Amino acid sequence: MCEHLASEGKKALLMIWDNASWHVSQRVRAWIGAHNRQARALGGVRIVTCRLPSKSPWLNRIEPCWVHGKRAIHEPERPLTRAEVMERVCTYYGCEQLPPLEQDAG
């Protein structure tokens, strides 16, 4: 996404996030910080995150979709495997299931 925005002459990508644990994790914040340092040094696109206030689902327009989706795929008898969750989410939302993103070990 940043490469695409850079080709259009943009300087920053604004991401509005809720307070999901993966949004506020130390690892994600460190990655964004490293990305932004590199973007400043090389003239790339910075990532600017704006978090929504806690306990304010009405500000997150996609929240009602997530609530219904979570209820539709949930199985109270047992935890689902990652593959089952991915399949059920894509089936419920009618989207293509893509392979998971590669993650570096560092």
Token couple for 21: 């644990």
Helix then strand then coil, % of the chain, to nearest 5:
50, 10, 40
Token couple for 84: 């089952």
Token couple for 63: 């929240």
Residue that is written with structure tokens 């259009």 in the block: 8
How far, in Å, CA of 56 to CA of 53, rounded?
6
Spatial CA neighbour of 81 closest among 69, 72, 73: 73
What confidence score (pLDDT) does residue 34 get? 96
Residue 19 in 3-state DSSP? coil
Domains of the chain, residue spans: 1-54, 61-100
At residue 32 the predicted structure's pLDDT band, cuts being 50, 70 and 90, is very high
How far, in Å, CA of 76 to CA of 94, rounded?
23
pTM: 0.57
At residue 36 the predicted structure's pLDDT band, cuts being 50, 70 and 90, is very high
